[in-house]
Structure 1
């Protein structure tokens, strides 16, 4: 009886060691086939464009194609949920904006995933500051001018964004709180209409990406008053950061895109992907392509990115709670 038990135990140990060896070999050899990169928005948008630029460069580093799959819907949650449910083997990744990973959990009661539990952070990819602009004919040339206008025109001062609860909306609400003003939020479904309505004087101001407003700034149709990052951006070096204003010290509401894998993805696979992302973003040619879009390479180690995510999530939660923002 003992002999049979010993043989059975040896067999189990042999099989277990074989499985461990096979898994270790597979991780060392990773990747051996194309990698799917889920983008939770439509093709042609900011996240999609960054995904395709970075994905093409990752192909050269990893030796496998990066296949972008657009899964828009439910404020980015459809794509994120699909990524969370995928096999944690490194062959399905998610390029998430701040919304899916740090905003939506505080905005939607029916969210079906917890980013801190269900996603493995690989690296922050880019930061995407927004720009606060007004109609160039408004006579406003600074944040002080906008604040003064808002205080004397509280009934009609407004700002637009591309949706309830996104970083642009949160940027405006934080301005309201820190400057003690009340710009009424007007949400749109995309950047084009929100900028158009600034030009048509239907809203006072808008927060939008550099890419969305660059041509209007260059044409002299809108005036850039500030950027929402903690520092000035290379694309608009003469435009101050919001935080430079005495009433707005510490202000920083920046959108960002980060790379994630499903929770449970082996550490060696996450580390290999992180090193590949850092290598790609360190390439000056790639960095310039991204910067031209107003997206600034900001790679982090997995643990650093995890801490960054927690800090951002808490910041967004605070803005949402204080402003009593409700999903629509």
Structure 2
């Protein structure tokens, strides 16, 4: 019996060594073909813009083309699920947001994937403020004026968001609850379509990341009532925060872009991806372009991104509970 145990132990050790050698060999040759970067939202939003910008630069660091595809739907969960179920070899990645990674687990009882178990963090790509935007024809110009307008026109004001339970919806829900008003959320498949409908006057307001707003705001085609940070931004000093509204408490909600690979992707490959994306995100020209579009580039370590995700998860657990928002 002892001899059998010894033989099994030797076999196990041999398999472990062979697996380690195979994994190291796989990582050494990575990548040897094009990569796919999934954006779980429609074209035209901040995630789409950022993904395509980075993809155009990554071939210099990875030696392979990065192809961006959009898989919108189910508040970002369709794209995230697609990657979670992909082969864990580093060739299929997702540029995710808070909605489908740290918020959805508190909204949906039966998700088709578990973000914490089925996706591996690679790096925090960037952060963009959430802006409450309006069509220029909409009378209110500040959140204070908006509160007064909604109270004078109850049940008539709609606003667009990238989806149910998104950080953008939770930010407006905070305004609703703290000021005693109620606006109706109109969910879209991304910030791009929501922004376009505000431009067209289909909805008067939208809560979206600043990235798709910047060019229209600069041209005066949209107005920004406030951002959802708890302090004004250095590069948007004249735009007030929602927290400055009389009678409202502090709110600090941002939209971020995080890179994930399927769980089980070898650490050596995760590290290669992290290094490549960090180099692109610290490129001065890339940083200038991203900041010009309202996105602050990050490109941190896997450990730091994982720590950030835990902090975000705790924050949104409380926000979702307080909001009373539930997914159908």
TM-score between both structures, scaled by the size of structure 1: 0.83
- Picking from 188, 191, 194, the partner of 1:191 is 194
Unaligned runs of 5+ in 2: none
Match in the other structure for 1:256 = 256
Match in the other structure for 1:116 = 116
Higher Rg of the two aligned structures? 1
On the 8 A contact 1:39/1:51 being kept in 2, the answer is yes
Match in the other structure for 1:131 = 131
Match in the other structure for 1:314 = 314
Match in the other structure for 1:298 = 298
Note the 1:167-316 alignment, pairs <5 A. 167-188=167-188, 190-192=193-195, 194-196=197-199, 199=201, 203=204, 205-220=205-220, 222-233=222-233, 236-245=236-245, 247-248=247-248, 250-316=250-316
On the 8 A contact 1:230/1:250 being kept in 2, the answer is yes
Look up the SS of the partner of 2:75 in the other structure.
helix
TM-score between both structures, scaled by the size of structure 2: 0.83
CA shift for structure 1 position 107? 2.6
Query: What are the Cα deviations for residues 23-61 of structure 1, in whole angstroms up to 9, with x where unaligned?
Result: 223324433333222222344443222212112222211
CA RMSD between the two structures: 3.3
Structure 2 CA distance for partners of 1:230 and 1:269, relative to 1, 3 Å: farther
Structure 2 CA distance for partners of 1:115 and 1:141, relative to 1, 3 Å: same
Look up the SS of the partner of 2:164 in the other structure.
coil
Moved more, 92-101 or 185-194: 185-194
Aligned counterparts of 1:5 and 1:212: Cα–Cα separation in 2: 62
Residues paired across the two proteins, number: 325
CA shift for structure 1 position 221? 5.2
Unaligned runs of 5+ in 1: none
Aligned counterparts of 2:237 and 2:278: Cα–Cα separation in 1: 25
CA shift for structure 1 position 124? 0.8
Match in the other structure for 2:97 = 97
Look up the SS of the partner of 1:129 in the other structure.
strand
CA shift for structure 1 position 279? 1.4
Aligned counterparts of 2:307 and 2:6: Cα–Cα separation in 1: 47
Match in the other structure for 2:23 = 23
CA shift for structure 1 position 95? 1.4
Match in the other structure for 1:56 = 56
Match in the other structure for 1:161 = 161
Note the 1:27-46 alignment, pairs <5 A. 27-46=27-46
Aligned counterparts of 1:240 and 1:168: Cα–Cα separation in 2: 17
Aligned counterparts of 2:69 and 2:188: Cα–Cα separation in 1: 25
Query: What are the Cα deviations for residues 61-105 of structure 1, in whole angstroms up to 9, with x where unaligned?
Result: 122222223333333222212211222222222211222212222
